[in-house]
Structure 1
Amino acid sequence: MPWTFKTLKKIKSNKTILIEGLPGMGNVGKIAVDFIIDDLKAEKVYDVVSSKFPHCVFVNEDNLVELPTIAVYYKKLKDKNILLIAGDTQPLDETSCYEFCNEVLNLCKKNNCKEIITLGGVGLPREPAKPKVYLTGNNKEIIKRYNQAKRLNGLVGPIVGVSGLLVGLANNVKIPAINIMAETLGHPNYMGIRGAKEILYVLENKLNLGLNLKRLNREIKDLQDGLSQLEDIEGIIPENIKEEKEFDKSYLG
């Protein structure tokens, strides 16, 4: 199997909601899911093993190398169970992405998932002060349920990677799925904490996870303080994005 979910701890999970947040535009989804895992003290229950990971290693702060990883975490709440997919990479080609998403859906069936949520970013030429949140899904009912206040926006354009494909393929196993995306600076190395915060507000409002979002406010302030010390923040913005007068939604994820 190209993708294997290695069991670290057996769980019995019903009424399960799966939330995916792998690296993508502005790393918005990754930041949001990593925050949930840390804040809820979710437990790692699956390691993903694959020869389809990028052929590289990461060098950490201790000058040691680490292989790319994807893992699944679990948290039991009062009236629901949460599975969270997190990692520092995602499938890099079309075939691998389909294979990975189908294995995720097998995991969902095994753990009686009633709903799938994927998270991502919408790239802009500049980081917005108040990022908009966009919704799309594989059926109208789940979109309506998440947008009861009608304050969220529709999304037009292809969604690249796991956050889009997983929602589409979930139709094949009859699991309602929704994609939640927030605006962020359109740069792959940018840390879109503001966008992640807006997504977390939506999740907290709908799922009552019990998150301490004040912690994220402090992290946003720390990030702003760091950015203010840079001599040229424009240096992280690609030239082709700087020159655009209109936002092109053709690359999302």
Structure 2
Amino acid sequence: MLERQSEVFLSEVGYNAEIKLGALIDKFQDIGWIHTQSILQKLPKLNANIGFFVSDQKVQILKPTFLSDKLIIQSFITNANRRKFTRLVKIFNNINNLLATQIENAFAVDLLTGKLASLPKDFPASKIIDQNIKCPILRNKVQPPLTANAKMQQYTVLGRDIDNYNHMNNARYLDLISERVNQIKEITVNYVKPAKEGMILDIARELVDHKVFYKFMNQKQLLAKIQIILE
């Protein structure tokens, strides 16, 4: 387990001093990246071309987070093999109230080819698992409704959206939806293909009962799917 303290800054909140959804996802991503790097430093050196691509994430929001809130963020690896890590991240306030959780799957990829990769046969995957914490296996597949009622918008991927892996940062997808943190009970994202700088994203939004679905497309290629369960 890795634990870090953080704070909600002015640049991360909206007009109501509540953290924006993309900024919340950034909190999860930052601790996840730090945790991964700390683990890899203690293990046999990997090929420099190997990176990790988050394919799925599920976030549950228990309480909104506001400007200047002091946070404690914990990251756990709950499952690992030569191809995939599963991570659980928890965010608490400074009086130990649980604010939000995230489960994510990250696959090893070859950064040169963009294809899935396998870590070496002697990679000690079992040693990085936090044995004292359990969480359900993440198998949530988003299934947007097949109707013609979706509201459409477009967005062009900018240089500032690109991360170290040369594709649009996962948190930027969450900046492009209209729901606020205090409206959301749970959000699940399936990342299918990376979005590159200059791509035009066709974003479809549809409300069905108490759920909102988003699809991110580039021409006819599906890039990501989001399901939001509203409060």
* Shared fold, TM over 0.5: no
What is the TM-score normalised by the length of structure 2? Answer: 0.26
Higher relative contact order (CA 8 A, sep 6+): 1
Query: Normalized per residue, which structure has more helix?
Result: 1
Between Structure 1 and Structure 2, the one with more strand by share is: 2
